[in-house]
Structure 1
């Protein structure tokens, strides 16, 4: 029995078709229904024949996405919607009743050098459901997920999603803690020993905080990694051999990048695999 819904936004671009493939496979793993949504901009000036041609074009986009989804997961329940309106606004509304929203990293209107499009930037950190941003169809399956953790509320938000996703995929979960040393004077006496002691203490605290999730999901293989370095760089490098990287966000921020957070924002531009942005549960109300 289908009890959940995954939404995927499409526009006919290569990244959006990669998002369809990801969403279809995820729906199969979750025993969820897949809803394919294409938002059609409001009517512009033009005669009836132009509008009919335009409508057929948008119908073709939805039909191609549906074919791609069925090729990836022929047994899932699939529905489609062709909606008029603002893309960000309509997808955001639809996310209110979904378990997950999946989009491509760039749409048809994006510049070749841009990794994250305007829709992805607007939605990331502002959807009621977890948002997965997909750049390309993966060439390999590594059987490993990456979750960034630093002890913050945002990081804890992502852990339930990360463990549950690893359990569904029967994959390893690599918990990565990237720590940046405080700006102490490098020439100070005992600087290296002081930084090492601070790092060790912080690592001990972080791993203690993770214990409840490990007990809740005993069947999920876990690896802990602590690194001195910037979280965006560390997680981006880890994502080279991962199927998904997961980070948390808080939706209360007014400024888009503030709500998403610097780590999530940086990962969406630099990660080598799909990125899941998981919003704080209190902010989904």
Structure 2
């Protein structure tokens, strides 16, 4: 894994929050911080002076928060999403604000953060605002798919670096036929037991390989987005795969990761397996 975190900035408040998140993460995990600003060449776009100012302010904030980590900057000229995706290929991870200066005030998630989360080569952390509270808990959505395996590995790394508890959410939904009445109640009970047991068993190898971590888990019978949103209320970070078992092979960003990005207020990491790990 590369030794630096890339942060995309544009001078907005969410971008500043992403810089602060990246600086703290770099300090914990011994990584450098690379801050980039893409100065798009469009009519009425910001001037080069503004771009330079946004970079300088972001770098200053990062250096305030890191004691010994290297902080570098670069101004890029091109397409924001394409350039950030290219940056992700050589980075440990990529951090972005939930929406930038070009976003509408009522939007929770901007087009840049959504586009980057669906296409980046590695983990993308979307940050909405500075964290007001610290819970010492990382939450990860896990269903045993290749993408959730990558998410679990990243969540474990984050929990260890923070000295935090890892909470694994393996949500599942009742099959459609369960609504047809009591005739199927016995079969439904069997399904609940089997699904719960299977989900618990999937977590066991991770717990055995990481005895230094406190790993808790739950198997709620509800939509995964709701389960993760509920768990996120007491989390410092929520980690999801870019798509899970229910996603189509051609889907870039699955419905669960998309839903979590739109509804969770704490930082959210969307993790895709690296190219050589792609299932």
TM range, smaller chain? over 0.9
1:175 and 1:244 map into 2 onto residues whose CA distance is 12
The answer on 1:240 being equivalent to 2:239 is no
Deviation sequence 1:18-60 (CA, Å, 0-9, x none):
0000000000011001000000012648xxxxx9x92221111
The answer on 1:229 being equivalent to 2:197 is no
Q: Could you tell me which residue of structure 2 aligns to residue 12 of structure 1?
A: 11
The answer on 1:204 being equivalent to 2:194 is no
1:178 to 168, 171, 178: 171
Q: Could you tell me which residue of structure 1 aligns to residue 39 of structure 2?
A: 40
Alignment RMSD: 2.3
Instruction: Give the alignment of 1:1-285 within 5 angstroms.
Output: 4-42=3-41, 44=43, 54-249=47-242, 258-282=251-275
Given that residues 143 and 170 in structure 2 are in contact (C-alpha distance below 8 angstroms), is that contact kept between their aligned partners in structure 1? yes
Shift of 1:283: 5.8
Deviation sequence 1:126-155 (CA, Å, 0-9, x none):
111210000000001100000011222222
SS, match of residue 74 in structure 2: strand
Q: Describe the shift of the 1:250–1:239 C-alpha distance in structure 2 as closer, same or farther (beyond 3 A).
A: closer
SS, match of residue 150 in structure 1: coil
Where structure 1 has 5 or more consecutive residues not aligned to the other structure, the ranges are 46-50
Where structure 2 has 5 or more consecutive residues not aligned to the other structure, the ranges are none
Task: Tell which deviates more after alignment, 139-148 or 182-191.
Answer: 182-191
Task: Tell which deviates more after alignment, 108-117 or 181-190.
Answer: 181-190
Deviation sequence 1:88-138 (CA, Å, 0-9, x none):
111111111000000000000101111111111111131112100000000
Scaled by the length of structure 2, the TM-score of the pair is 0.92
2:185 and 2:265 map into 1 onto residues whose CA distance is 33
Deviation sequence 1:185-220 (CA, Å, 0-9, x none):
535235444323212211111221222211221111
Task: Tell which deviates more after alignment, 207-216 or 113-122.
Answer: 207-216
Q: How many residues align?
A: 276
Scaled by the length of structure 1, the TM-score of the pair is 0.90
